[in-house]
Amino acid sequence: MAADEISDADIAMDGAGLYREETFTDRRVGTLQRLTPVTASGAADAARPVLYVGQTQVLTPAGALPLSFEIPAASLDDAVARFGEHAKQALARTMRRLEELRREQASSIIVPGAAPPGGAGGPGGRLVR
């Protein structure tokens, strides 16, 4: 973003979309966030659902891979019970996406010795020796 785009950006919080965050962890596998909807005054907003978000890391040869995923749950107990299932689903989605990116990168690799796009030669069509 350019400096003029930043100054023109609408940077304002949505008072109708506020949540109170609570964090729970087992200090071993991951973290759960409980996002409780609140009004602009901070009172609980029963018209919107409580959200649960799981976070964990998976060690790969390239280092730690962070995963963040929503867990459809009715309570904290329910979210804890469903954590592993949804972490595995998030890992599978992430691995599929990484494989797609790897294939895209592999298809754009320029092979040494291949003719450059637009024909052979240097500027003005001269052959470079």
pLDDT, tens digit (0-9, with 9 covering 90-100), for 26-52: 999 999 999 999 999 999 999 999 999
Residue 103 sits at the vertex; the CA angle it makes with 101 and 106, to the nearest 5 degrees, is 110
Ramachandran class of 125: left when φ > 0, alpha when ψ lies in -120 to 50, beta otherwise? left
Task: For residue 50, give every residue at least 6 positions away whose Cβ sits within 8 Å of its Cβ, in sequence order, or none.
Answer: 34, 35, 36, 37
Domain ranges of the chain: 15-107
Residues 53-85 have pLDDT tens digits of 999 999 988 899 999 999 999 999 999 999 999
Range from 10-14, 48-52, 85-89, 121-125 carrying the lowest mean pLDDT:
121-125
Taking only Cα atoms into account, the Rg of the chain, rounded to an integer number of angstroms, comes to 24
**Would the pTM of this model clear 0.75, i.e. be above it?**
no
pLDDT band at 106 (very low <50, low <70, confident <90, very high): confident
pLDDT attached to residue 69: 98
